[in-house]
Structure formats: C-alpha cells, structure tokens
A and B are shown apart, each in its own frame.
Chain A
Amino acid sequence: MRKLSIAIEQLTTCGGCENSILNLGDELIVLLEKNLEIVYAPILMDSNRPQHVDIVILSGAVRTEDDLKKVKYWKGRCNVAVAFGSCACFGGIPGLSNLSPSNQLLESSYINQIGTINPAGSPPTLNLPKLTDFIKPVSELINVDYELPGCPPPPELIREFFISIVEGREFRLPNKSVCDECPLNTGESKEMKSVKRWPFGEIDRNKCLLEQGFICLGPVTRGGCNAQCIRAGYPCRGCLGPLDKSIDGAAKMISVIASSSSLIDVSIEDLGAIPDLVGLFYRFTLPISAIKPWLWRKRH
C-alpha cells in the first residue's frame, strides 16, 4: 500500500501542536513505518514545499501576511486539509490580540514593553512580514476537512484521527463536554458557594472545582482530553472550544455561572469581581465568537 504523504505547515505557533504528534510515541513509529510519510515539516527539516500531498496539517494562527500566503499555497494541493490545534481552529490565545489594532500590538511589544530598549523608537521593519488586521480561523481562509482542536490536541484524538484516515473512515470529534469525562463529576446538582481565583485558596482535589468556586470551563468545552487538566488540579481553560451547535462558549459559560451560583452566598457583586472575563471565557475562541463582527465593525 502506498504511504500517505503528510505536510506539516507551521503558521504563527509555539510548536506545541507538533510536539503533541510526537507524544504518540511508539505508535507514531508504527504508523510512519506502515502508512504515513512526513514529506514536509519545517520543524524537523528544511525542504521545499511539495507540489501535492495527501494530508496537510496546518497548525498555528494566521497572524502575518506570510502565514496567509502559506495557507493559500495549499489550496488545491492537498487531498485533506486539517486545522490542527486551537490556534488554527479558533484563533487560539493569539486570537485575543484581535482586541487591539495591529499597529498598537507592534508598539506595545517593540516600544512600550517594560525592559525593551529601542533607540529607534519604531517597530523593526526589515524582513518582518506585515501583521494581518485580524486573526481568523484557518477554516475561513481555505476549505478545511477536519478540525482537531486542543492546546495542544490530545494525543488520543491525534491517534484516532490518523487511524481513521489510514482506514478510510470519517473522523468525528467527540460531542460531549469535559464534565462527561471528568472524574470529579458525581452527577448530582451543584451549587457554587463562593467565587475564587485559581491558585488562591485551598483546592480539594476530590470535589468539583466549579462547586468549590473556581471558574472551570468544563461544562461548555468539548471533551476528548480525558479531563487531564482537572485531573492535575487545574480548572479547564476551554482549549477544545465550544461543542457542536453552540455558537458562543462564553455566553454559555455565563449561563452556567449564573445558574449554578448560590443566590444566598454569592452576591452579584462577587460575580462582577471576577477579573478579566474576556480572557477567561474567550481565552481560545475570541475569533469565532458571536460578537466577532461587532469587534470588526468597531475597528473600521
């Protein structure tokens, strides 16, 4: 059987998604021996972009014009395009930069940043690609066949994806929330009796974090990660994005907090004191949020 060729195209990314592929371990070696062949991956080796591949894995956000070119290159040159990781699927953490115009971003990182010495007083221009106005999910730029969210995508999902591609099956993301997989979910009704910020206060590792007052995005986030953050004592941050048919994870999370907070022990001011709602609820999904067009119009 012919091996399926894979290209891994990196956009603006930290490299964590590519590392997550390596997390498959021995299974990756078996897959690479029998069924898959990586033909292009700048993170591993320098080579020219091939003319045609079977699968292209696009990871990272489209932040610069250069990224835009890279994405457009694969139009019609692949059989299967995969948006890999939360940045490619929803814009991810870089997506939060949609809140400020790109010139302001350059100024704050190259001029106003504490500790930065910049005698020229202007952002560097040499060899730097221009920033795009807005970060958009890859699926808005080219046709994407599969989306594999996660920051980084959990190895179990990657394995399932590769195996289903090799076997010729269609890959579906699990459509159940993190709470469904969470070991702390007892199935009983919960009441938030206080509002706490994560590292502060005592953490009971055997009790639902939301019940303890930590804002955990588990109820509104797609599962598939086996609730690994919560198993490690950290509230869910929502990296796998909203579930199918949910147009906005943040709105759903507001609903969760409002309906589960105790009316006696938690006052409305306590809820108002939760710092940085945007960063908390839209940490990974601002570019696909329901209010995205509003932000866009505000800028133009």
Chain B
Amino acid sequence: MWRPKIIGFLCNWCGYAAADLAGIMRLKYPANIRIIRVMCTGRVDPIHILSAFQLGADGVMVIGCHPGDCHYMNGNYRAERKIYLLKKLMQELGLESDRIEFSWASAGEGMRIVNLIKNFTKRIESMGPSPIGRS
C-alpha cells in the first residue's frame, strides 16, 4: 500500500520544539512525516524543497514561528515569501502547489502541530503519489 512520504522542515525554536512537546505529551501523529530540523525556516531554500520532490517526497511542510516570534527577527517572513513565490511559480507551470505547506506553530502548541501534520497527511493522501516520485 502506498503511504505518502512527507518531509517537514521544522525550525529549531518553534516548530521542532512543538513536535518535541507533542512527543512529551504522548500525542500521536502520522509517521509519514520525516522531520528535518533547521535553525530557522528562513534557511529553507526553494532548492531544498524541489530537491525533496526530486528525491521522492510527496509533500513538503515548512513550519516556523508565529509572525513576530522569530528567534532571528524576520526569518519566518522570509520563508513565507520564498514559499509563496515558489507556489506561485508552480501554479504558473500548472503543477500541484498544494503539495507544499507553510505554517506556524509556537513551542507550546503541541496539539496544533499534530493537527497540522494530520491535516496535511490527509491532503497528500487524497492527492495521491507525487508525479515525480522515485518509486
């Protein structure tokens, strides 16, 4: 059975901490997500996202701090812009930009990140395998 592969770029200070908290709270979330910790979502380059797709990911999540909460002043705004432009480029090319999700979660929101991951996994499951997947 096909199960979606999802890559999650989570920022060290909020997204990753929230996922950590979800673990401490013993909340369950789909094992489809492979979490990659980055220091800031501003570090995530569109190249990383495209590479993830090239290497067989079905969806990519980027989760950073809430607006105004970035540990590095404005990294999350930069990430928002990058992903917004990347999605727009993909829409112009007629590709499924919904396979990319950008969202916020603070270090205390274990429940929120679980919901985000659950909803995104459901969405990718309904979209089916990525057209450029390896398998």
Contact = CB atoms under 8 A, between A and B. Distances in A.
Nearest to B74: A263
Given A254-B85, A257-B85, A298-B95, A247 B132 contact: no
B88 interface: yes
Contacts of B90: 291
B86 interface: yes
Given A251-B45, A254-B46, A297-B131, A290 B88 contact: no
Contacts of A41: none
Contacts of B132: 291, 293-294, 297
A271 B84 contact: yes
Interface in B82-96: 82, 84-86, 88-90, 92-95
A99 interface: yes
Contacts of A298: 94-95, 131
Please list the 3 inter-chain residue pairs (A to B) with the smallest Cβ-Cβ separation, ordered nearest first: A251-B46, A258-B81, A297-B131
B50 interface: yes
B51 A247 contact: yes
Interface string A253-265: 0110111010100
A272 B45 contact: no
B50 A254 contact: no
Contacts of A250: 46, 89
A294 B131 contact: yes
Interface string A262-282: 010000100110001110010
A55 B84 CA distance: 46
A41 B12 CA distance: 60
Interface string B32-64: 000000000010011101110110000000000
A70 interface: no
A261 B85 CA distance: 12
Interface in A201-253: 246-248, 250-252
A292 B74 CA distance: 32
A295 interface: yes
Contacts of A276: 92
B47 A247 contact: yes
A261 to B, nearest CB: 7
A250 B49 CA distance: 13
A293 B93 CA distance: 12
A252 B81 contact: no
Interface of B: 42, 45-47, 49-51, 53-54, 74, 77-82, 84-86, 88-90, 92-95, 131-132
A276 B85 CA distance: 11
B47 A290 contact: yes
A258 B42 CA distance: 9
A298 B131 CA distance: 7
Given A271-B84, A272-B84, A298-B94, A254 B131 contact: no
Contact of A278 (B53, B79, B93): B93
9 contacts: A247-B54, A251-B46, A255-B47, A258-B82, A268-B84, A271-B81, A293-B54, A294-B132, A297-B132
B85 A291 contact: no
A174 B45 CA distance: 24
B47 A268 contact: no
Given A247-B47, A254-B46, A254-B86, A295 B93 contact: yes
Contacts of B95: 291, 294-295, 298
A297 B74 CA distance: 37
B46 A255 contact: yes
Contacts of B49: 251
Contacts of B47: 246-248, 251-252, 255, 290
Contacts of B53: 290-291, 294
Residue from B42, B79, B88, B92 having most chain A Cβ neighbours under 10 A: B92
A254 B89 contact: yes
Contacts of B77: 263
Contacts of A258: 78-79, 81-82, 85
Nearest to B44: A255
A294 to B, nearest CB: 5
